[in-house]
Amino acid sequence: MVMKKDIDELPKNTANYTALTPLWFLERAAKVHPNRKSLIHGSCHYTWHQTYQRCCRFASALSNYSIGLGNTVAVIAPNVPALYEAHFGVPMAGSVLNTVNIRLNASTVAFLIDHCTASVVIVDQEFFLLAEEALKICSKKTNTFKPPILIVIGDENCDPNAHRYALSKGAINYEDFLQSGDPEYDWKPPEDEWQSIALGYTSGTTSSPKGVVLHHRGAYLMSLSAALMWGMNEGAVFLWTLPMFHCNGWCYIWTLAALFGTSICLRQVSAKAVYEAIDKYKVTHFCAAPVVLNSIMNAPAEDTILPLPHIVHVNTGGAPPPPSLLSGMSQLGFRITHQYGLSETFGPSVYCAWKPEWDSLPPESKARLHARQGVRYIGLEHLEVVNTKTMQPVPSDGKTIGEIVMRGNVVMKGYLKNPKANEETFANGWFHSGDLAVKHEDGYIEIKDRSKDIIISGGENISSVEIESTLYSHHAILEASVVARPDEKWGESPCAFVTLKPRVDSSNEKCLVEDILSFCKAKMSSYMVPKSVVFGPLPKTATGKIQKNLLRAKAKEMGSAKMSKL
Amino acid sequence: MVMKKDIDELPKNTANYTALTPLWFLERAAKVHPNRKSLIHGSCHYTWHQTYQRCCRFASALSNYSIGLGNTVAVIAPNVPALYEAHFGVPMAGSVLNTVNIRLNASTVAFLIDHCTASVVIVDQEFFLLAEEALKICSKKTNTFKPPILIVIGDENCDPNAHRYALSKGAINYEDFLQSGDPEYDWKPPEDEWQSIALGYTSGTTSSPKGVVLHHRGAYLMSLSAALMWGMNEGAVFLWTLPMFHCNGWCYIWTLAALFGTSICLRQVSAKAVYEAIDKYKVTHFCAAPVVLNSIMNAPAEDTILPLPHIVHVNTGGAPPPPSLLSGMSQLGFRITHQYGLSETFGPSVYCAWKPEWDSLPPESKARLHARQGVRYIGLEHLEVVNTKTMQPVPSDGKTIGEIVMRGNVVMKGYLKNPKANEETFANGWFHSGDLAVKHEDGYIEIKDRSKDIIISGGENISSVEIESTLYSHHAILEASVVARPDEKWGESPCAFVTLKPRVDSSNEKCLVEDILSFCKAKMSSYMVPKSVVFGPLPKTATGKIQKNLLRAKAKEMGSAKMSKL
């Protein structure tokens, strides 16, 4: 046992230990590949040297305003360079970055700014009115509210009046703010890697938004995990279809600095813009929710550049992609990886690891395997599906539903100022995802529903996801979402909200509903067949997630289902 | 400043924090790809499920012998599966793995076993006599010496008598040892990621060997860094030409589990065996010292399979590869990455990151750029070349020589039971490499020599590496090593030891020496031209490094150089 003592006599020192933080990635990119492209936004191109200098200026300018450790900086912006830069500039000053969803209304933004006591608000000119209104609400709410420093990001591609207006209201021009900082600013890594790096609010469909606090350690580890999961190598060209404000762009902002990759910014996502960027910049990777992929797959021929000139890797999640989408995209030349995660796990942390032996299976089997969420990323040390009462793992039978729970270094610190939520979410030493899944024989997990999305009909648990998956394979359906509708007889029954494909004849709605229902009857147990089918566009969040809470409210308004048709 | 307080109120818990350790990689590989090949050794093939079970048995069997936290397990073996398994089995039991260089003599092995107080010695049957003799020396040295548990690894491809002999001497058969363990052993990650995982002794050419102690945290981070540096993706097929006992195979043992890659073991390395493995197993990656690459490049045609059927990535280091080797290998279809590191930095931690813009340069310029050691791995946070007196960085002029110093998470804990060496090596808060280098304008470093290899002639510092590099470009020279020889007039002068290529006519030695010297004179300042040239084979370490200390002794024996020829 001499060894133990000897080894304890070798403590950490400044030469062999430093905090893990993704900030190192940027400094290294600037040193190794100073002239390689870091960011492209329209006609604006930056190199890693420039990005590093801009981020140093950012941190320096913040510290000139005495913003540092303990302060929060909120950013309200679409996928523009300033939001990318904030992911380095803010933590380089020791502060915490709060990325705000640009689709939120003013009162929610006000709640966020107040809740995280933002010392600085940086807002894109397109969203200045939103910020202005939110700040008004904040000042009205409490007398003690201290207005944050307000900075506006201009964009030469946008309305110059909006920018001028913001400046006239006293906002600091973002570029002037940067210019006031020192490009050689001597930033320091955090003293402790457990220090917070970012704060993001969950959409809060059922309660007040919860502030997910992420740490430097996890951001470092997830950045590398995400690259390894995807086989993403040096020099990747990444298209920003995924909002950077959505869980820090699943940490890919930091990954790209680690890989000396290039970010292609997109203020607004459209199928046409995606195809254009693939063509022009040789995009190798992008992330998108299934609904975005749907629009890419169903884009009019003149907007596409099919067949693709090179392989494009697509990471999709947020909702299980229906089999028809998976096979369709792969036929077009996209390589889809299906993954799953939450803001609380630094973005996706589970993925459907593909096995070469699956390549030779028939398309339906492939799609079925591919639609599963899968196995853990390398940064997540434990992934389990448990019986919520006993906390014991469910059997690997592909049938027994339990809750997905996780443990590992890519789990958040907790929710900000919310001890009750923290107690619940970390109960029994696990992070509780709130998602329900089964575990297959090969250990891959498959989500059946969010806890709150499950439909309980006559005592039976019905997975809304399973019904949706069937609906997506119907030839006329572009998008589908199924929620519980109050039911006189069964308590709840499935209600399907459906968007039809552009060229579908919907003149005889009744006939179409019957066709869809008989299609469902042929494919599922009768108690699972929707009792109601509603046509129309589906409400979505900023990240393209269908807002089931709104549909649920709509289903409730419709009153109890009495018959098997509308 | 509310934020700081709130964030401090979110402490680590079992759901969001666990020790970083490469042990997770193995458990994950077995879960995700249980049937994929993990190791191939002759006719012996293992899957990840099997490797995981064997490692669990290994740890369980150790703990049955009460071997756990605080114990050291020494392994003396070439690249066989047992040595791979020890890298997981030993730390899964909480113990520290000491990999022993198989080329050491018995008295050095005895020093190691005694110094690290090994509780268990696992030895390959081919090296049993070595272990036996070493243990005898240990028992004679001290009365208190407690003989370790002795385990022998059998190999059906080797002499059965050697195995039988070991068993007759009371050694436990490795396979029986494994069988005694539980394949479902409930191993635990270390409580603290600073816990030691491995111990390796430096070759100790000038003093007693020093025990480099590595930690779980660094092993985890280097495993991932090494994959990212190389663009090594899932399913890589790795040929073990590099000894696993050499700094834990530069952490690639653990990397391969992280990537679900396949290890091809080689008991003995030869050019023929390398080409055969590339052909048979579709090897994608291997590591080798320049001297090994030399033999691959100069192999007789009948031993090769050129042109290569697919790209093979080669990671080389240990000594700067001469330009002629770099260009030669690349013409054969090998993609060479040049890197540099030390046992103290978990193996290579610096690499010559290639820039696409260099592709179009003439071959000599490419080779010149490629021969530089380069920039830091992602896991190493600081790399600098400093003036050893002032500790200030040298200018980036490609001329000023300083010492390479490092800081970061892939630096060792320290040397075992050697406070004096630790004080020196960690002086001024840096890890001191003992290597001398310059820093180029683009920030890439280039080694000029080991501190002790520099030749001081008439007050001028002469880089032995520079002279060697020139010698390697001479048509008749296979290998070259230059050391200081005492010199009457200049104090020291360069003495070249040279091995000729197989088909070179060496009948007129004098004429050849003159040809080499005039070749040197045309390419370097006259004070750098070797004063002596000696032909013959070069002494090498187990890892293929040329043993300059032996050559230096030989040069000393030759007496003072008096003339400009032998």
Chain B residues in contact with A15 by the CB 8 A cut-off are 406-407, 411, 426, 429-431
**Segment (H or E) for A500:** strand A491-500
The closest alpha carbon to B229, from B371, B317, B349, belongs to B349
Using the Cβ of B375 and the Cβ atoms of chain A, whether some distance falls under 8 Å is answered with yes
Burial class (CB within 10 angstroms; exposed 0-12, middle 13-18, buried 19+) of A58: buried
Is A263 contained in some domain?
no
Chain A window 197-216: which residues touch B at a Cβ cutoff of 8 Å?
213
Distance CA B373, CA B378 (A): 15
Whether the bond between A307 and the residue before it is cis, its omega within 30 degrees of 0, is: yes
Is the pLDDT higher at B229 or at B328? B229
pLDDT at A450: 76
Q: Tell me how close the Cα of B351 comes to any Cα of chain A, in angstroms.
A: 11
Residue of A2, A5, A7 best to disrupt the B interface, most CBs of B under 10 A: A7
CATH of the domain at A94: 3.40.50.12780
Structure tokens at A350: 């589970």
Using the Cβ of B145 and the Cβ atoms of chain A, whether some distance falls under 8 Å is answered with no
Chain A window 79-98: which residues touch B at a Cβ cutoff of 8 Å?
96
**Segment (H or E) for B37:** strand B37-41
Q: Give residue B2's pLDDT band: very low, low, confident or very high (50, 70, 90).
A: very low
For residues B278 and B424, membership in a common domain is answered with: yes
Using the Cβ of A171 and the Cβ atoms of chain B, whether some distance falls under 8 Å is answered with no
- Coil vs helix vs strand at B375: strand
A357-366, B41-50, B221-230 — which is least confidently predicted? A357-366
For residues B97 and B50, membership in a common domain is answered with: yes
Interchain proximity B378–A228, CB inside 8 Å: no
Once rounded to an integer, what is the mean pLDDT over residues B87-97?
98
For residues B375 and B422, membership in a common domain is answered with: yes
Task: Give, in order, the Cα–Cα distances in Å from A341 to each of A388, A411, A531, B10, B17.
Answer: 19, 10, 31, 21, 17
For residues A293 and A437, membership in a common domain is answered with: yes
Task: Give, in order, the Cα–Cα distances in Å from B165 to each of B128, B172, B513.
Answer: 9, 12, 51
Interchain proximity A431–B24, CB inside 8 Å: no
Distance CA A517, CA A531 (A): 9
Which residue on chain B is closest to A34 by alpha carbon? B442
- List phi, psi (to 5°) of A120: -135, 140
pLDDT at A566: 35
Q: Give residue B331's pLDDT band: very low, low, confident or very high (50, 70, 90).
A: confident
Question: Looking at A194, A213, A232, which one is the last position of a domain?
Answer: A213
Using the Cβ of B526 and the Cβ atoms of chain A, whether some distance falls under 8 Å is answered with no
Chain A window 4-23: which residues touch B at a Cβ cutoff of 8 Å?
4-7, 10, 12-18, 20
For residues A202 and A71, membership in a common domain is answered with: yes
Note whether A287 and A316 are within 8 A (CB).
yes
Interchain proximity A3–B96, CB inside 8 Å: yes
Residue of A3, A28, A262 best to disrupt the B interface, most CBs of B under 10 A: A3
Is B499 contained in some domain?
yes
How many independent structural domains does chain B possess? 3
- Taken in order B429, B435, B439, B444, is the CA torsion positive or negative? negative
Chain B residues in contact with A114 by the CB 8 A cut-off are none
For residues A445 and A466, membership in a common domain is answered with: no
CA terminus-to-terminus distance, chain B: 76
Burial class (CB within 10 angstroms; exposed 0-12, middle 13-18, buried 19+) of B206: exposed
Question: Looking at A397, A420, A451, which one is the last position of a domain?
Answer: A451
Interchain proximity B381–A24, CB inside 8 Å: yes
Interchain proximity B3–A71, CB inside 8 Å: yes
Chain B residues in contact with A2 by the CB 8 A cut-off are 70, 117
pLDDT at B381 over 90: yes
Using the Cβ of A231 and the Cβ atoms of chain B, whether some distance falls under 8 Å is answered with yes
Q: Which of A16, A20, A32 is closest, CB to CB, to B353?
A: A32
DSSP β-bridge partners for residue A478:
none
pLDDT at B565: 38
For residues A485 and A438, membership in a common domain is answered with: no
For residues B324 and B464, membership in a common domain is answered with: no
Q: Mind listing the pLDDT tens digit of every residue in chain A (566 residues)?
A: 445 565 567 999 999 999 999 999 999 999 999 999 999 999 999 999 999 999 999 999 999 999 999 999 999 999 999 999 999 999 999 999 999 999 888 999 999 999 999 999 999 999 999 999 999 999 998 788 899 999 999 998 899 999 999 999 999 999 999 999 999 999 999 999 999 999 999 865 556 789 999 999 999 999 999 999 999 999 999 999 999 999 999 999 999 999 999 999 998 899 999 999 999 999 999 998 777 888 898 899 999 998 899 999 999 986 667 777 888 888 899 999 999 999 999 999 999 999 999 999 988 888 889 889 999 999 999 999 999 899 999 999 999 999 999 999 999 999 999 999 999 999 999 999 999 999 999 999 999 887 778 888 877 778 888 888 889 889 899 889 999 998 888 888 999 999 998 888 888 888 999 999 999 998 888 888 999 999 989 998 766 678 888 999 999 888 876 543 33
Using the Cβ of A361 and the Cβ atoms of chain B, whether some distance falls under 8 Å is answered with no
Chain B residues in contact with A7 by the CB 8 A cut-off are 96, 195-196, 213, 413, 416
Distance CA B566, CA B563 (A): 7
Is B283 contained in some domain?
yes
Q: Tell me how close the Cα of B179 comes to any Cα of chain A, in angstroms.
A: 26
Chain B residues in contact with A24 by the CB 8 A cut-off are 378, 381
Q: Tell me how close the Cα of A200 comes to any Cα of chain B, in angstroms.
A: 13
Interchain proximity B381–A117, CB inside 8 Å: no
Q: Which of A259, A376, A430 is closest, CB to CB, to B28?
A: A376
Using the Cβ of B258 and the Cβ atoms of chain A, whether some distance falls under 8 Å is answered with yes
Is A166 contained in some domain?
yes
Using the Cβ of B420 and the Cβ atoms of chain A, whether some distance falls under 8 Å is answered with no
Is B257 contained in some domain?
no
- Between β-strands A312-316 and A285-288, what pairing exists: parallel, antiparallel or unpaired? parallel
Is A565 contained in some domain?
no
Is B167 contained in some domain?
yes
For residues A312 and A192, membership in a common domain is answered with: no
Model-level ipTM above the cut of 0.95: no
The closest alpha carbon to A165, from A149, A154, A176, belongs to A154
Chain A residues in contact with B195 by the CB 8 A cut-off are 7
- Please list, in sequence order, all residues whose beta carbon lies within 8 angstroms of the beta carbon of residue B409, skipping any fewer than 6 positions away: A16, A17, A18, A20, B217, B218, B221, B379, B380, B381
Average of per-residue pLDDT values in chain B: 91
Interchain proximity B258–A378, CB inside 8 Å: yes
Q: Which of B7, B32, B227 is closest, CB to CB, to A375?
A: B32
Interchain proximity A28–B378, CB inside 8 Å: yes
For residues A393 and A470, membership in a common domain is answered with: no
pLDDT at B127 over 70: yes
Q: Which of A3, A259, A356 is closest, CB to CB, to B117?
A: A3
Chain A residues in contact with B355 by the CB 8 A cut-off are 33
Residue listed under structure tokens 């090179």: A310
Q: Give residue B1's pLDDT band: very low, low, confident or very high (50, 70, 90).
A: very low
Chain A residues in contact with B33 by the CB 8 A cut-off are 353, 355
- Please list, in sequence order, all residues whose beta carbon lies within 8 angstroms of the beta carbon of residue A93, skipping any fewer than 6 positions away: A58, A59, A60, A62, A63, A67, A68, A187
Note whether B218 and B193 are within 8 A (CB).
no
Structure tokens at A176: 């002037």
Question: Looking at A213, A237, A257, which one is the last position of a domain?
Answer: A213
pLDDT at B563: 44
Tell me which residue range forms the domain holding A445: 269-451
pLDDT at A37: 98
pLDDT, tens only, B434-469: 999 999 999 999 998 877 788 888 777 788 888 888
For residues B515 and B404, membership in a common domain is answered with: no
Q: Which of A3, A70, A72 is closest, CB to CB, to B71?
A: A3
Rg (CA), chain A: 24
Instruction: Report CA A339 to chain centroid distance, whole Å.
Output: 11
Using the Cβ of A74 and the Cβ atoms of chain B, whether some distance falls under 8 Å is answered with no
Using the Cβ of B162 and the Cβ atoms of chain A, whether some distance falls under 8 Å is answered with no
For residues A183 and A208, membership in a common domain is answered with: yes
Interchain proximity A16–B408, CB inside 8 Å: yes
Interchain proximity B15–A406, CB inside 8 Å: yes
pLDDT at B560: 77
Q: Which of B2, B224, B422 is closest, CB to CB, to A224?
A: B224
Is A234 contained in some domain?
no
Rg (CA), chain B: 24
pLDDT at B72 over 80: yes
Q: Tell me how close the Cα of A15 comes to any Cα of chain B, in angstroms.
A: 4
Chain B window 110-139: which residues touch A at a Cβ cutoff of 8 Å?
116-117
Q: How big is the A-B interface in CB pairs under 8 Å?
A: 169
pLDDT at B3 over 60: no
CATH of the domain at B483: 3.30.300.30
